[in-house]
Amino acid sequence: MCGICGFNWRDPELAQRMTDVIAHRGPDQDGVWCDERVSLGHRRLSIIDLTEAGRQPMANEDGAVQVAFNGEIYNFAEIKADLEAKGHVFKGHADTEIIAHGYEEWGFDVVHKFIGMFAFALWDAKKKRLWLVRDRIGIKPLYYYHKNGRFLFGSEIKCILEDPQVARQVNHAALYAYLGFEFVPAPETAFADIHKIPAGHWAVLENGQLRVEEYWDLKMPERGVARSEGEMVERIRDLIDDAVRLRLISDVPLGAFLSGGLDSSTIVAMMRKHNPGKLQTFTIGYEDATFSETEYAKVVADHFGTEHRVLIIDKMDEASIEKSIWHLDEPMTDLSSIPLMFICQKAKQYVTVCLSGEGGDEVFIGYDRFKAAKIASFLNFLPRWVRHDLVGKWAKGLEDRPEKKGPINMFKRFIEGSLLPEEAMHLRWQYFMDPRLEQHLFTDSYKAQVPFDPFARVRAYNAKCTSKDKVNQQAYLDTRFMMSDSVLMKADKMSMASALEIRVPLLDHRLVEYLGTVPGNQKLRGMTTKYIFRKALEGILPKEIVWRGKQGYSLPVKNLLRTQLKDFMVALLHESPLIREDFDVAFVDRLIDEHLAMKQNHNHVLWGLMNIAIWHRRFFKNG
């Protein structure tokens, strides 16, 4: 796990500044390599091959191929053996080296041989070609800037901003998408002219021309493949077992995050199978029990005999909020970002690598939004005016409750999502704008510049999906649209802030591809989420863990905005020049008043606006 950066001209000083600003990603080593056409920079967090042989950028035998790599290739030993049989000579046993030699042997096709998470840059001096690759699922981030012949790239946006010729400009249209989805969808970022390479894509810069191409997509049969339940259970168990086994490869200590939910508990169970010795686990908790799962985490920790540590978060300080947004590079409203940053800081005191259950809810169908979509489909027989004018207005009049979920809060959220267009599918319950907000929140000048078509990208991804199974269509949308630039971006940035590597076995592409063939009714059975996953874990996990509902470890932001963070929120939203430019401050005040009075829960919008204001203040001189 590391950080990479570079550009298409020679400037060792700039390359060094770019690597320095992402030193948190790789505190163990740094390296810069330049020729007349390209400069590459690297920060290393040593995980495999701790010797000097693992230093990057790394070359092939004759130096014609140079690689800067971030991530892990878990099957590198098998690929290395194959390459050695073909005559390639290796200097060490770092996985980076197989990228250079594999490219020599197979060209671009080498990427299809990798099992892992990766973002890398490869310079081919003979062909004068720069090749950038982001892994299939998007576990590792990769950004670029290309304008007026100037091309820069990096693991984080902040290193690209080290070039004084890269103008810092707000991508105002991206802020609209962000407030709805709570992240900026690829290929855009919150900075104008800086882009993300989407998951499963590579970029090639050759002869001054840049092309970005998709090399992998999640292919699904139209209706799923009919198999017996027993066959599916056995295959899922085998795939998860092998995914965890591969991710235990490390020359440094590793542990696991354990929330007490199904996904993280599964990872711990499989780790224990392959590691009978010391196993360290880490859990987040809150004083408000409705936001905590610590009791369930303890059940799992006791069951598998782990060395378990719990971090209780009882307050939130402004400095931590500012720090998280600086590391995220752009606004992101995920309410679990800061807790994840805290637990990564804690875990880093004991280990360098943590396995995590990220991605399980997307690929196995675990979120409440999947159930909401199914319930909504049964209510379509009601006339629209009943759903919108009667039920909708009544639900909005219900006051918010302080607990995380509960019947009233869940009912209100269900109705709010149901009022959004059906083209948004299940993402209606993960989208936090509505016609009232769109009409009143933004200034007239903003609305005149930005086209309000929030679900354009959703339609584009739906058009790409090869399945006609509703549940699998939803899984595809979560995997290809939502996950890479929200859940996984958060996991990467919050862990690398503490130089901690997170590995995500449930997103092994072999498992993801297999689940793409499983019929939707085996994932969402009635109102039981993750059905086939739960069946696969019977006898492996305690029964109370296998069949319990989802909780999550998100920060109790709605209550903090009414207490500890109230004054900070009000001052921030009144003082920010970007908030005053793009948003109607009087309407923002109305949202604040309704939230403080507990008439409505506006935490998603208010927290989103706070993230925008802090981001602008941190990254722009006039902010």
- pLDDT tens digit sequence for 241-292: 999 999 999 888 899 999 999 999 999 999 999 988 899 999 988 776 666 6
Dmax over CA atoms of the chain, in Å, equals 74
Q: How many CA atoms lie within 13 A of 395 on its CB side?
A: 20
pLDDT value, residue 568: 96
At 405-443, the pLDDT tens digits run 667 667 667 777 777 788 889 999 899 998 889 899 999
pLDDT score for 137: 98
| Distances in whole angstroms, Cα of residue 212 to Cα of each of 134, 203, 209, 509 | 11, 4, 10, 21
Chain mean position to CA 481: 11
Q: How far apart are CA 145 and CA 162, in angstroms?
A: 12
According to DSSP, the β-strands at 116-124 and 129-134 are antiparallel
Output the six-digit token pair for 254: 């590793």
**Could you tell me the pTM of the whole model?**
0.94
pLDDT bracket for residue 333 (50, 70, 90): confident
**Element of type H or E holding 179:** helix 172-181
Supply 155's token pair. Answer: 């693991």
Question: Which tokens hold the place of 107?
Answer: 């060209």
Domain boundaries, the chain: 2-214, 229-365+470-546, 556-623
Q: Average pLDDT in the 161-181 region?
A: 95
> How high is the pLDDT of residue 488?
97
CA atoms of 299 and 260, how far apart (whole Å):
8
Whether the pLDDT of residue 390 is over 60: the answer is: no
Q: Which CATH number fits domain 229-365+470-546: 3.40.50.720, 3.40.50.620, 3.40.50.10440, 3.50.50.60?
A: 3.40.50.620
Residue 417 CA to residue 434 CA, distance in Å, equals: 9
The pair of structure tokens assigned to 362 is 């997307």
2-214 has CATH 1.10.940.10 classification: no
96-113, pLDDT tens digit by residue?
A: 999 999 999 999 999 999
Helices (H), 379-502: 384-385, 393-396, 406-418, 435-440, 444-449, 456-464, 470-477, 487-496
Q: CB burial class (10 A; 0-12, 13-18, 19+) of residue 216?
A: middle
| CB neighbour list of residue 282: distance below 8 Å, 6 or more residues apart | 255, 256, 257, 258, 308, 309, 310, 311, 343, 346, 347, 354
Classify strands 194-196 and 143-147 as parallel, antiparallel or unpaired: antiparallel
Q: Give the mean pLDDT of 152-156.
A: 98
pLDDT of residue 487 exceeding 90: yes
List pLDDT tens digits, range 306-329.
999 998 887 788 999 999 999 999
Q: What angle do CA 3, 205, 83 make, to 5 degrees?
A: 65
Nearest to 558 by CA among 506, 530, 599, 525: 599
**3-class DSSP state for residue 33?**
strand
Catalytic positions are 2
